Amino acid sequence: MSIHGIERRDFMRWALAAGAVTEFHEAFLPKLKAAAAEAARAHPVLWLQISGCSGCSISLLNTVHPAVKNLLLDEVVPGQRLVMHFHQTLMAGTGEVAMSALREAAEAHKGKYVMVFEGAVPTKDANFGTMGLEGGKHVPMSEWVKRLSAGAMAVINAGTCAAYGGISAAEPNPTGCVGVTQFLEQQGIKTPVINVPGCPCHPDWFVGTVVKVLLYGIPAASELDDHRRPKLYFAKTVHNRCIYRDYIDEGVFAHKFGETGCMLELGCKGPFAHGDCPMRQWNSGVNWCIQANNICIGCTEPGFPDEHAPLYQRR
Ligand code: SF4
Ligand code: SF4
């Protein structure tokens, strides 16, 4: 018998072969998926916590789109995945195992990894913050910052302490902390720097920035503001899109917390603080500082906190 010129015997042989292929595919699907993930382009990231409170790491753990599990284990965008080779808090390894992982990753991916710093750099004394031993001596954090930033494709400062010094460098600053940006300038290290400030930095700001760098390379100067913040998130002030803008326009001001009105008289720093907090909000869009009936303390600005003090008085 022949249908459309195909003999029955040939048709059966083809159908069996097709069935076998399908079975093979079903049985090996998990392995094929794993192989595809392996084939995805892996982008190395190193994260060093210096002098800070770990709040920016905690903020990153709260990322929702993508969840941190997906961010660290899956393809962050199709065909591209991040490989976090070092993070003091998140990694399981400790001691020399962790230090070897750091050295090996920095060497193997020289010029290709993104270096993330969290916290400011203590400069007053080499013993104010050390990590690991070399030749029986403690290695100062400032030395790690120099080495790791010099070999990086780009530096991303996560949070205001890393970007500008922040609370770690606030008066009286006994450890002589400075922001990584300033420290690298003092050391003459020319690796491109992107600042993603905030106390803490918003997980969306960080994830969006690191993915953009890995996919499209270093942002053009026109994409960053004068303080090297991505304009995508920091072009406008908080005040610009505040939910209380109508009150300020109508001259209605709150004089104690809980009163109706704009909170400028209570010390709100929204008119000069940059960030898209009113639109993006925090904790997956649940709320943000002013909507929670507090002022904006200007946590994304280079002068924070000293230049904003006292926080609850009009500047
Ligand atoms: S509460 Fe702050 S940010 Fe909002 S309108 Fe008043 S001064 Fe501007
Ligand atoms: S509203 Fe102000 S204090 Fe709150 S996160 Fe945004 S910039 Fe920081």
pLDDT tens for 167-210 read 999 999 999 999 999 999 999 999 999 999 999 999 999 999 98
Q: Check residue 30 and give its pLDDT.
A: 58
194 forms beta bridges with: 156
What CA–CA distance (Å, rounded) separates 228 from 193? Answer: 7
Distance 272 CA to ligand 1 centre (A): 10
Ligand nearest to the CA of 245: 1
Residue 193 CA, chain-centre distance (Å), reads 13
CA-nearest residue for atom 8, ligand 1, is 239
Catalytic residue among 85, 201, 242, 274: 242
Distance, CA 119 to ligand 1 centroid (Å)?
Answer: 28
Cα separation, 311 vs 268, whole angstroms? 8
Nearest partner of 102 among 84, 89, 82, 126, judged by Cα: 84
pLDDT of residue 199: 98
pLDDT above 90 coverage of the chain, percent = 77
Pick the residue whose CA is nearest to atom 8 on ligand 2.
299
The C-alpha atoms of residue 144 and residue 214 are separated, in whole angstroms, by 23
Quote the pTM value: 0.87
Beta carbon of 264 within 6 Å of any ligand 1 atom? yes
The amino acid at residue 88 is: Q
299 is catalytic: yes
Stretch 110-130: mean pLDDT? 96
Collapsing DSSP to helix, strand or coil, 80 comes out as strand
Q: Is the dihedral of CA 84, 87, 93, 98 positive or negative?
A: positive
Model pLDDT, residue 97: 95
Clarify whether 201 is annotated catalytic. Answer: no
Classified as helix, coil or strand, 59 is helix
Task: State whether the beta carbon of 244 lies less than 6 angstroms from ligand 1.
Answer: yes
> Closest-lying ligand to the alpha carbon of 205?
2
Give, as one character, the DSSP assignment of residue 56.
H
Please give the Cα distance from 142 to 295 (Å, whole number).
Answer: 35
